Amino acid sequence: CQWLLRAGWMAQELLSTFGTDLGEVTLVPGTGGIFTISCNDRLIWDRKRDGGFPDAAKLKQLVRDVIDPDRDLGHSDRKGHKTKDSA
C-alpha cells in the first residue's frame, strides 16, 4: 500500500483528537491507489472521488460531523478552516 504512511499518520491524528469516541481505527492495506475513509459504515473520503487527500483539519471535521456534530474541534474549526456551517 503506497499510502500506508499517510494513512498511519491520519489514524494517529484521529485517535489523538477523538480517543475512545471512535471505538477503533483500522488500516487495511490494498493495491491500486485506494485510499478511503469510512466512519460508521459511511464513506466520508475517497481519494479518487474527492481529488486527493484531506488535510488533518478537514478530516477531523468530517469525522466529527458523523460521530458528534456538536463537538468543538478548537483550532481545527478556526483560522479559515471551513466547517459544514460556514461552507
Q: Is 17 helix (H, G, I), strand (E, B) or coil?
A: helix
pLDDT in tens, 5-64: 999 999 999 999 999 899 899 998 888 888 899 998 999 999 999 999 999 999 999 999
Distance, CA of 23 to CA of 1 (rounded, Å): 24
Nearest to 59 by CA among 79, 40, 36: 36
Domain boundaries, the chain: 4-77
pTM of the full predicted structure? 0.77
Residue given cell 460508521 in the structure block: 40
Question: May I ask the CATH architecture of the domain 4-77?
Answer: 3-Layer(aba) Sandwich (3.40)
Give the pLDDT band (50/70/90) at residue 81.
Answer: very low
